[in-house]
Amino acid sequence: MSGVLAEGTDVGYYVQGKVSPSQFEGHAGRAARRKPYHNIYISNGVSLHELSVSLSKGRKPSEKQNDDLCSICSDGGELLLCDSCPRAFHRECVGLSCVPKGAWCCRYCENRQQRESYLAYNNNAIAAGRVDGVDSIGQIFTRSIRIATAPQGAFGGCALCKQHDFGKKKFSERTVLLCDQCGREYHVGCLKEHNMADLTALPEGAWFCSTVCVEICEALKDLVSRGAEPVPAVDVDLIKKKRAEKGLDDDGDLDVRWRVLRDKSSEDSKVVLSKAVGIFHESFDPIIQAGTGRDLIPAMVYGRSVRDQDYTGMYCAVLTVGKTVVSAGLFRVMGNVAAELPLVATSRDNQGLGYFQALFACIERLLSSLKVKHFVLPAAEEAVSIWTQRFGFGTITQDKLLEHLKGGRPTVFHGTSTLHKPVPVA
């Protein structure tokens, strides 16, 4: 028939050479689903989600690759290793009285496997070409798979000369120092040339590039020491309104507080941070470190360095209702130039009640009080509209981002784009 493609014709879909799963789903008229990986299938009926899960299962960690700290409390000791992912746990933290016999999977992997059993042979998979009794995943693994990596080196380098070189051995003008607040890099020689510091040896203890960074560090320490503080009435009123719309009855005043934490310096903060880890794990698949397969979420929450990933400057902000942690966000202040918000989540049972809006407002007021100029975050494509329409963020070119960060290194996740907004002036 004229104008009709012949049976078996391969059809390509291109937007400037590539199309994301979210764009593909939107083009098919199903953008509202927001689960593109679950609903896009390759020719033999395997969903993109199932394929990605199978690839991750093929990278079973060795003992050297497993986490050396508990994924719940982030302490060391005698740990139980998951046989399907790099996570490690204390028996007590996962409610086990003894070490299980044989293979053991953590609850995150168990949940994943339950989702797989449904996805493998649903009607959509069969319609896309899935055949019962055929190892569709095995068919794929016989093919050659190539992995492309993003170019490196756009961010970082000396904040003054912009060069990425550094002295590797003895102390010299090319020795690089990192500010303990903003995280920017400085050559010792460049500091002297710009009359910022005249150093003859590595400084002992913390080092800051400016009095501004010292003041910001002290202000954040003070905020952490104050513990939980009441959320302003304007934000609580919004929460009450949303709760009323959902038919939730509040007896008396709603005790809504927010708190900023950094590391687990006390038993109290340790408990709160472990709850934040749980919320992030509930909302996100593991954020995997390339090369090791290690889940980076605990490292980010507890402000640790993991190989080439440095999260020591991260702070964790939480919103509580009564004694329950309902929302959490991780932020880092890179001097008064910029701050970033790489990870946010609200517990599943408390979504849609205005909790994160209140937490975001508290974080934004904090940045305003610190006179921070720019606010940036990495956003998955399906979340861009939420950030732009509800929170006032916008897209930004890499050149403009580099200009705003002035040598700072933002947190970047594969498949995300960076959004930006100016911080309101206090």
Per-residue confidence at 271, pLDDT binned at 50, 70, 90? Answer: confident
Contact between 172 and 188 (Cβ < 8 Å): yes
325 and 188 assigned to the same domain: no
Domain limits for position 200 = 154-209
Q: Scan for tokens 């500091």, then name that residue.
A: 191
Give the end of a domain, one of 86, 118, 141: 141
265 and 317 assigned to the same domain: yes
340 and 205 assigned to the same domain: no
Report if residue 218 sits inside a domain. Answer: no
84 and 172 assigned to the same domain: no
Number of domains in the chain: 3
- The CATH number covering residue 49 comes to 3.30.40.10
Per-residue confidence at 143, pLDDT binned at 50, 70, 90? Answer: very low
Report if residue 160 sits inside a domain. Answer: yes
- The CATH number covering residue 344 comes to 3.40.630.30
Report if residue 146 sits inside a domain. Answer: no
159 and 235 assigned to the same domain: no
Which amino acid, 253? D
Report if residue 171 sits inside a domain. Answer: yes
Instruction: Write the pLDDT tens digit of every residue in 272-322.
Output: 998 999 898 888 777 777 666 677 888 889 888 877 778 889 999 999 999
54 and 171 assigned to the same domain: no
Q: Backbone phi, then psi, for 327, in 5-degree steps?
A: -150, 150
> What does the pLDDT average to over 362-374?
97
113 and 63 assigned to the same domain: yes
Instruction: State whether residue 45 is helix, strand or coil.
Output: coil
176 and 256 assigned to the same domain: no
259 and 201 assigned to the same domain: no
The per-residue DSSP string of 54-105 comes to HHHHTSPPPTTTS-SS-TTT---SS-EEPSSSS-EE-TGGGT-SSPPSS---
Report if residue 219 sits inside a domain. Answer: no
121 and 201 assigned to the same domain: no
Q: Is the pTM of this model over 0.75?
A: no
Which range has the worst mean pLDDT, 63-67, 330-334, 345-349, 417-421?
Answer: 63-67
202 secondary structure, DSSP code: P
Report if residue 4 sits inside a domain. Answer: no
Which amino acid, 20? S
Instruction: Write the pLDDT tens digit of every residue in 8-41.
Output: 555 555 555 566 666 666 665 555 555 676 777 7
Report if residue 221 sits inside a domain. Answer: no
| Bigger pLDDT: 132 vs 365 | 365
201 and 236 assigned to the same domain: no
Report if residue 8 sits inside a domain. Answer: no
- E strand intervals along 142-277: 176-178, 185-187, 229-230, 256-261
76 and 181 assigned to the same domain: no
Instruction: Write the pLDDT tens digit of every residue in 65-115.
Output: 567 778 888 788 889 988 877 788 888 888 888 888 888 888 878 776 666
